[in-house]
Structure 1
Amino acid sequence: MAMIKCPECGHEISDQAPYCPSCGVAIKDKLTKCPACGQVYFKDQPACPKCGHPTNGQTENAGINTSATVTENMTTPTKRNNLLVAAVAVFAALLIGGICYFFYHQSSVERENQAYEYALSSTDVQVVQNYLDTYMDEASEEHIQNMEKHLSELKQSDEEWTNALVSGSKSALEQYLEQHPDSPFKSLAIHKIDSIDWAAAQAANTVEAMETYLEQHADGEHVDEANQNIKGINAKTVQPEDKLMVRSIFDSFFSSINNKDEDAVTSAFGSLINSFLGKTNATRNDVVTFLHKIYKTDIASMDWSTVGDYTINKKEVGDGQYEYSVSFTAGQNVSHTDGTNVQNKYRISAKINPDGKITDLNMVKLLE
C-alpha cells in the first residue's frame, strides 16, 4: 500500500482505498502510473495529463505495480537517452573530422598555390623542378602543364645563353638579351657587352672611341676610366680645334705687325712674357720696340705670313688647362721705298698659355 494524491481532488489517500474520502471518486483498480514522469492518473485516460506519454493500455493499478514493471518502465527511457547521446557523439565526431579535413585540405591547396606562384615567377631551373617533384600528384593539371612549359623555356634559355657566351660576340649577346629580357643571366650579359666595348675603346685610344663607349654605357663599369683617358688623350693629343686656335693666334699676330697696330700686337701676348727674341722676362713694351725697329724709314710695307707647317706639342698644366709649344716657318716680304723687295724666312718657336696668349716667342732667320 502506498499513499498517493487523488487525481480528481488532490487529497492524499491510499492507493488501495475503494473511494476517495474527499470527493468520492473510485480509486482501487482505476489508476495507473506514467512510466515517463511518475504521474498517477486514471488509466482510462489515453495519455498522461502531465507529460503526454500514451497510456498504451496499461491496466495495472499504480499502487500494485511490481518492482520489475517499475524497473522496466525506468530503463526504457534511459536506453533511449543513451542511444541519443551516442548518436550525437558520432555526429559530433564526424563533424569535427570533416572540419579538420576541410581546413587541412584548404591549407594544402594554399601551400601549393604559393609554391606555384613562386616557381612560375622564378628563373631558376632547380626551383621549378622542385615544384614539379613535390606537387606532381597534388597540383591541378593546369598548374602542372604551365610549370612544365616554364621549365622547358628556362632550359632553352640556358642553352641559348651558353651559345651566346661561347661565341664572345656582342651582337649574339645583344640578341640574347632582346629575346630574354628577364633572363637570370641579364647582368652577366650586360657585363660582357660592356667589357667588349671597353676593349674596343682602349684599342682605338682616341677621344672619339672613349666618348662612344660613354654614350653606349652611361652607367658602365669603366666610366671613370674613360673620362680619365679622355683627359689624358686631350693632354697629349693635339685636336683639330687646338690646331685651329694656334693658327688663328699667329695669323692675328702677324696681321697686326703688317698693319703696325701696336695695341693688337701687344694684346697677343700674356702679361708675363718669359722670353721674347732672346730676352727673358720681357714686357709688352719690348714687343712694341721690336715693331718700331723692323719698320725702318726706307721700308714702304711689310707682309708676314705663315706657311702652315705647324708642329704643336700639348701639355696639361691644370685640370683641363693646356699649354702649347709651337714651331713653324714664317715668311717676310719687305718692300722698300726704292722699289726693291726682300724676302726672308724665319723659324719661329713659341709657347701659348691656357688663356691663348703668347708667353714665349723667338725666331731664327733661315738662310736660303
Structure 2
Amino acid sequence: MVKRLKFLFVLFISISVSARVIFISSESNYNTVVGDNITFTIFNDTNGISRFNASGATKIDFEKIVIDIELYGKDKMRTEFFRFMKFSINSCEIQKHKGNYLLKTVMEGLYKYSNYKFDCPQKKKNFTATNFEFSDANLPVYILMRDGAFWQFKMIVKGLIKNQKSLTFICSLNIIGSYNARIYFIKSDLNQVNTAFIENATLVFFNDTNGLSRVNFTGFLVHDVQKLIVDAEVFVRRENEKDWRKFISFSINQCDLKRFKSNAIIKNILENVKKYSNYEINCPQPKNFYYLTNFEVSDVRILMFFRNGFWNVKMFTRGTFLNRKGLKNIVSIDTFGSYVRDL
C-alpha cells in the first residue's frame, strides 16, 4: 500500500526577497509495508531561506539503499519542464561517490541536518531531518536563471530486501519551486590564438547596467576547417574555500552533433550560439568573419550551485585544416567570475 500526501504553498514574496530558492509545492509517497509514518514538510522560512523537515522509520533491514534523483528546469518561455541532470546514491558504494562534488555535498547536508547515516547493510531505524537548508545541499540549477523561472526536484528511495533480486520502493518526494540569481564576470583572458586559423580575434565580457552579464566575440576564420572540437571545463569555489573543484567537463565535436541531441546543456548552448551570432555549424566549417553580439549568459543553462561563490570556465578550441590530419589548437578562453544568490 502506498500512502500519498499532498500540500500546496501560497507565497507572499516582497521585493527584498530575491535570488532565493523558493518552494511552491511538493508531493510525497511512501510504502507502508516497509516504511512507517514517513513525512516531508517543505517551508519557506521567515528570512527567505527554504527548508524542509523529514521524519519516519523503516520497518525492516535492507541489504542496501539506492536514492535516485532527477532535476528539471523550466523558464518563462517554456510550457514544460525538461530534465537536465540525473544521478543515484548507493549506500554500498559511498566510496565511489567521494570524488563527486555534488553527491559529496548532498551527503554532507544529510549528516549536518539529520541523524541519517549510510550503511551497508542498512538496518531498520527511525530517522529525522530538521530545518534542512536547501542551499546547503548545493543542488545544481542554471547559472543566472531569470526571475520567474522554475525548477523541479524528484527523489525516489528504494531498498534491497535480503534474498530478493529487485529493489523495493520505500518513499518518494517531488518538489517544485522558483529561483533567481546573478552571475558577474570578474576577469577574462583570450589567449593562445593561432593566427594560422583565426585573425583579429577579440573577446569582451561585460556586466550590463541592468545587472546582466554579456559576451561579445569577433574573429575571421581564414581557412576552411575540416572539423572543430570545443573542450570546456567548469570549476567552482565557495566563498570560504581556497581550492577550486571541477564541477563539469564536456566536449563538442561539430561533425558529430547527433550524439548531443539528448544532452540538454549542450543543446541549449548550441541554440544560443545560433541566437546571438552569425555562426552556423557546418562540417567542414567555411572561412568567414564570425561574430557573437550581446550574448546573455543567463540564456546558457550550464549547471551551478545555489551557494554564493566563484566560478571559472576554461574553453579550448581545436581544429583540422581541410584535407589535413591532426588537430591544432585554435584559441583558448579562460573566464573567472562570481555567483551571487543574495542581491
TM over 0.5: no
Structure having the larger proportion of residues in helix: 1
Identify the structure with the greater strand proportion. 2
Structure with more relative contact order (C-alpha pairs < 8 Å, separation 6 or more): 2
- Choose 1 or 2 for highest CA Rg: 1
> For this structure pair, what is the TM-score category when the shorter chain's length is used for normalisation?
under 0.3
TM-score (norm 1): 0.20
Normalising by structure 2, report the TM-score.
0.22
